[in-house]
A and B are shown apart, each in its own frame.
Chain A
Amino acid sequence: MTAPLINVPAHAKRGEVIAIKTLISHQMETGFRYSATGTLLPRNIITEFVCTYNGDEIFRARFYPAVAANPFLTFYTVATASGTIAFTWTGDNGFFETATANIVVE
């Protein structure tokens, strides 16, 4: 499994608005498609994404079958303190992926 690609600035000024970008490898099979032999392909999608900043939840998203493969998310937060920004993706068939990024706030 390919690791997610995370983009968080390594340094930021206190109070600065920073952009966070995440990209994860996932087929996002809708559950509505049929295979070449006519059998229904079971749904296999990411259902939830959560981002925490030093343990506090700052962003949460629910995913549905219409989300394209390899979902890319970008969102913003205020740099409040140095520490760790953590990401989790949860999905069908026990899919679970995590990633972290460190940020220094001056």
Chain B
Amino acid sequence: MSKHTRSLRLLTIVCLALFAATTPSSSAEIASANRRTDYDFMSRDTQAMQDDDAANPGMLWVQEGEALWAHKEGSGQRSCMDCHGDARFSMKGVAARYPAFDAERDRPIDLEERIINCRLNHQNATPFAYESKELLSLAAYIARQSRGAPIETGNDERLEPFIAAGREIFNRRQGQLNISCAQCHDDNWGKRLAGNIVPQAHPTGYPLYRLEWQSLGSLQRRLRACMFGMRAEPYPFGAPENIALEVFLMARAHGMPMDAPAVRP
């Protein structure tokens, strides 16, 4: 938990309860003319922090990830670079296609799970834990190579049932406040929730540096934090529900440019 969030969290919960009481139960998708990236909703100061590589704290993780990429690991003493080469070329646009369908598992996996699998199967090394500094660093370094690339997740038709499952969760009322993701992000975007503007939930910049966390975090961490605010039980890291939400949200943001590592309030 970060330093100043307890009272903010209480206020957030009160506001969410008011939302739930006043909004209609069926949500409409955002019209294409009104689609905006989460970057557009930020203050000019936070945008400036993200845009300047010397000021963006996410670049500390990117730098760490660059070192890890070349580091030989596991019983095979192989680095990411030994198979994938120079990430600046080989990883270009890759993060914009994740979560991607994994034929072996017959389901989509996100970028973090892809890295974990690579470590297990190709490097024979101990896998990184979710939200560990190493996993976030590698994910940030890979995602950085897609900056500016349009999101392509959803082009693969094998993802369709998973996108549908994610859409169902997104529109489902849940938790003690009995609200859905859509009631905030489809119906009430642009309004304020406590001090912050409710964005449209387009995950273009993950993993991203959240000022509230004072750290980098994954999309799954963000989803769990939202669940907590809805007073619903967060899905565990790697749970199919989290992946389904990730696929749905990325497909929903189709065509938007990636801006990882982003900075968000």
Q: Show the binding face of A for B, using Cβ within 8 Å.
A: 2-3, 5-7, 21, 23-25, 27-28, 30, 33, 68-70, 72, 74
Q: In angstroms, how far is the closest chain A Cβ from the Cβ of B179? A: 27
* Chain B residue at smallest Cβ distance from A1: B64
Q: Show the binding face of B for A, using Cβ within 8 Å.
A: 3, 52-55, 57, 59-61, 63-64, 211, 214-215
Q: In angstroms, how far is the closest chain A Cβ from the Cβ of B7? A: 15
Q: Which residues of A sit under 8 angstroms from B54, Cβ to Cβ?
A: 5-7, 21, 23
Q: Which residues of B sit under 8 angstroms from A7, Cβ to Cβ?
A: 54
Q: Indicate if the CB atoms of A23 and B59 lie closer than 8 Å.
A: yes
> A23, A30, A33, A74: which has the most chain B beta carbons within 10 Å?
A23
Q: Which residues of B sit under 8 angstroms from A70, Cβ to Cβ?
A: 57, 60, 214
* Chain A residue at smallest Cβ distance from B214: A69
Q: Indicate if the CB atoms of B63 and A2 lie closer than 8 Å.
A: yes
Q: Which residues of A sit under 8 angstroms from B53, Cβ to Cβ?
A: 5
Known: A33-B3, A68-B214, A69-B215. A2 touches B64 (CB 8 A): yes
Q: Indicate if the CB atoms of B3 and A3 lie closer than 8 Å.
A: no
Which of A5, A21, A68 contacts B60 (CB under 8 A)?
Answer: A5
Complex Cα–Cα for A23 and B63 (A) = 12
Q: Which residues of B sit under 8 angstroms from A3, Cβ to Cβ?
A: 63
Q: Indicate if the CB atoms of B59 and A5 lie closer than 8 Å.
A: yes
Q: Indicate if the CB atoms of B55 and A72 lie closer than 8 Å.
A: yes
Q: Which residues of A sit under 8 angstroms from B61, Cβ to Cβ?
A: 2
Which of A5, A33, A69, A72 contacts B63 (CB under 8 A)?
Answer: A5
> B53, B59, B60, B214: which has the most chain A beta carbons within 10 Å?
B60
Complex Cα–Cα for A24 and B63 (A) = 12
Which of B3, B55, B211 contacts A23 (CB under 8 A)?
Answer: B55
Complex Cα–Cα for A74 and B61 (A) = 20
Which 9 A-B pairs give the minimum distances between C-beta atoms? Answer: A7-B54, A69-B214, A21-B54, A70-B57, A25-B60, A2-B64, A2-B60, A72-B55, A68-B214
Complex Cα–Cα for A74 and B56 (A) = 13
